[in-house]
Amino acid sequence: MTDPRLADLLQSVPDLRLKTDAADLEHYGRDWTRRWTPAPLAIALPGTVAEVQAVVQWANRHGVAVVPSGGRTGLSGGAVAANGELVLSLERMNKVLDFDAVDRTLTVQAGIALEAVHNTAREHGLVYPVDFGARGSCSIGGNIATNAGGIRVIRYGNTREWIAGLTVVTGAGEVLELNRALVKNSSGYDFRQLMIGSEGTLGIVVEAILRLTDPPPPTNVMLLALPSFEVLMRVFAEFRGRLRLEAFEFFTDHALRHVLAHGAHKPLDQEYPYYVVTEFASDDEATEAAAMAAFEHCMEQGWVADGVISQSEAQAQQIWRLREGITEAVARYKPYKNDVSVRISAMPAFLAQAQALLGQAYPHFEVVWFGHIGDGNLHINVLKPDDTADAEFVAQCEQVTKLLAQALQAHGGSISAEHGIGLVKKPYLGSTRSDAEVALMRGVKRVFDPNGILNPGKLLDA
Ligand code: FAD
Ligand code: 2HG
Ligand code: ZN
């Protein structure tokens, strides 16, 4: 170690695993955004809470910025280290610590993958219901730091609803045990909830107590083909009115073309402009009849042009792949991502405005629309043409995002529904949060991280 700060780190935390090879700096310094050039100082891989605390104390002594790092599947640049930061990876802290059948909780270290949590919950006859396509690679710590949403929010809510307790190391180096799995706790400010969605700027999540729940009843998955955007929310109202929905997701023909080119199975003979994937409880004749009634009503109204219902688990997975495979299928086009939300009742008006705005703004770029429409959450991916330079493309997209942010503000929406602000959406934070709120955020940051060492420049300017 030629850097004296790193020599001191190893002296202060003798068992710490530290990586400084160029390939590791590159690998751990970026997330799924791929926009910034990784340039971290080093990668620390602690194995215990005490080691995390010691690393944070060291960072405070030396004024070194620390980037908390999970699976780096984030889409807003929150886990990027491009300025000589120490990346603190939780990947070695990936164990299940406890299952409590009475409390129905699972206590885990923060580096555990979401999918491993699903599997462990299932072994105990229960489920952890937060779910999305990155389940195999993203970590619970990252899910908590971004308040991740996903494909079942419509039934179960965001990550926030499922966190019964947290252990965090604050930016000041204190270890806090927050809420300890209490169901009821009216004893003042709930710092657990404050940590959720704070994007690694207030504390490092080292352990979490997750709530589990009963498995859902048997479900069916349906793919619906829609002739126009305008009918989308009517179809949603019809299905939600008749069924217990587990998911209601949408995507366009562009998205479908990309997933099919990526190996997915063609679902219908003809092509249509818009599609919905919906999953709903269907465990008896009455619910099956309700599903058919919803489908037939939508067909009669001309809101749905075609559809298919899963006849087996394999077919259900094939349908889900059409929706869940989009992010990977378009990744090679280095998409500029928007992840916006409005309240559900404002969706029809916002959709009309956003469609008009983006149609005009991006005549030369392919735009792929999809998302959790049942939650009022749209993903709008703008694909970079191969012959357009990265910087020019991003600059053009940022101009349009300013207009989109204004439209969102007018509809009372959010510039980040579930991916976080990170670096990507920081310039537009003011469209969603007032000046007074942002000032309070800065004040909160100073309380938990007085020297500003935790993820500086993410969410808020350093
Ligand atoms: P990282 O990318 O490593 O980090 C994300 C942020 O959390 C950073 O700011 C980082 O500093 C911070 N952080 C990480 N670990 C900790 C910790 N232990 N303590 C404190 N801060 C920490 N997101 C959704 O919400 N819904 C989706 O449907 C969805 N689908 C996706 C599908 C694909 C294919 C991909 C690639 C991504 C998807 N995402 C989705 C985005 C991403 O997976 C989530 O944001 C996820 O929660 C990030 O977890 P991570 O462990 O990869 O976090
Ligand atoms: C999803 O819903 C994810 O599939 C990723 O949130 C969205 O790639 C995106 O823009
Ligand atoms: Zn999403």
Query: Does this chain's domain 4-89 share its CATH topology with 334-425?
Result: no
The residue whose CA has the least distance to atom 8 of ligand 2 is 327
Tell me the fold of 334-425.
Alpha-Beta Plaits (3.30.70)
The model's confidence at residue 229, banded by pLDDT at 50, 70 and 90, is: confident
Whether 92 and 49 have beta carbons less than 8 Å apart is answered as no
For a ligand 1 pocket test, name from 35, 72, 73 the mutation site with the most ligand atoms within 8 angstroms of its C-beta. Answer: 73
pLDDT of residue 362: 79
CA distances from 224 to 84, 203, 242, 264, 280 (A): 49, 43, 16, 17, 13
Each residue of 26-36: pLDDT tens digit? 999 999 999 99
What distance in angstroms lies between residue 43's CA and the mean position of ligand 1's atoms? Answer: 18
Q: What is the pLDDT of residue 360?
A: 87
Ligand 1 center to 354 CA (angstroms): 26
Residue that has been written with the tokens 């299940």 in this structure: 96
Which residue among 75, 256, 324, 336 is best mutated to probe the pocket of ligand 2, counting the most ligand atoms within 8 A of its Cβ?
A: 75
Q: Can you give the pLDDT at residue 363?
A: 77
Nearest protein Cα to ligand 1, atom 47:
143
- Whether the per-residue pLDDT at 1 is higher than 80: the answer is no
Ligand 1: residue whose CA is nearest its atom 7: 142
CB atoms within 10 A of CB 23: 8
Non-local (6+) Cβ contacts of 439 within 8 A are none
Q: Is 419 in the pocket of ligand 1 (CB under 6 A)?
A: yes
Could you give phi then psi for residue 282, rounded to 5 degrees?
-150, 80
Mean residue pLDDT of the chain comes to 97
The 10s digit of each residue's pLDDT in 245-296 is 999 999 999 999 999 999 999 999 999 999 999 999 998 999 999 999 999 9
Residue 55 clears pLDDT 80, i.e. is over it: yes
Q: Is the CB of 372 under 6 A from ligand 1?
A: no
Most ligand 2 atoms within 8 A of CB, residue of 34, 35, 76, 132 to mutate: 132
Where does ligand 2 bind, in terms of residues with CB under 6 Å? 75, 132-133, 326-327, 337, 379, 381
Question: Ligand 1, closest atom to CA 31?
Answer: 2
H/E element, 163? strand 163-170
What pLDDT score was predicted for residue 142?
Answer: 98
Ligand 2 atom nearest 133 alpha carbon: 4
Is residue 8 within 8 Å of 17, Cβ to Cβ?
A: no
All structural domains of the chain with their residue ranges: 4-89, 96-211, 219-330, 334-425
Taking Cα atoms as reference points, which of 386, 397, 329 lies closest to residue 357? 397
> Could you say which architecture CATH assigns to the domain 96-211?
2-Layer Sandwich (3.30)
**Which CATH architecture does the domain made up of 4-89 adopt?**
2-Layer Sandwich (3.30)
Kindly report, residue by residue over 307-335, the tens digit of the pLDDT: 999 999 999 999 999 999 999 999 999 99
Neighbours of 93 (CB within 10 A): 23
Q: Which residue's CA is minimally distant from atom 33 of ligand 1?
A: 134
Dist CA 224 CA 291 (whole Å): 12
For residue 77, report the distance from its CA to the centre of ligand 1, in Å: 10
Looking at ligand 1, which residue's alpha carbon is closest to its atom 45? Answer: 74
- Cα gap 394→36, rounded to integer Å: 12
Q: Is 115 in the pocket of ligand 1 (CB under 6 A)?
A: no
Q: Mean pLDDT over residues 64-78, rounded?
A: 98
334 C-alpha to ligand 3 centroid (Å) = 17
CATH of 219-330 among 3.40.50.11310, 3.40.50.300, 3.40.50.2000, 3.30.70.2190: 3.30.70.2190
- Cβ(72)–Cβ(28) under 8 Å? yes
pTM for the full predicted model: 0.98
Ligand 2 atom index nearest CA of 337:
10
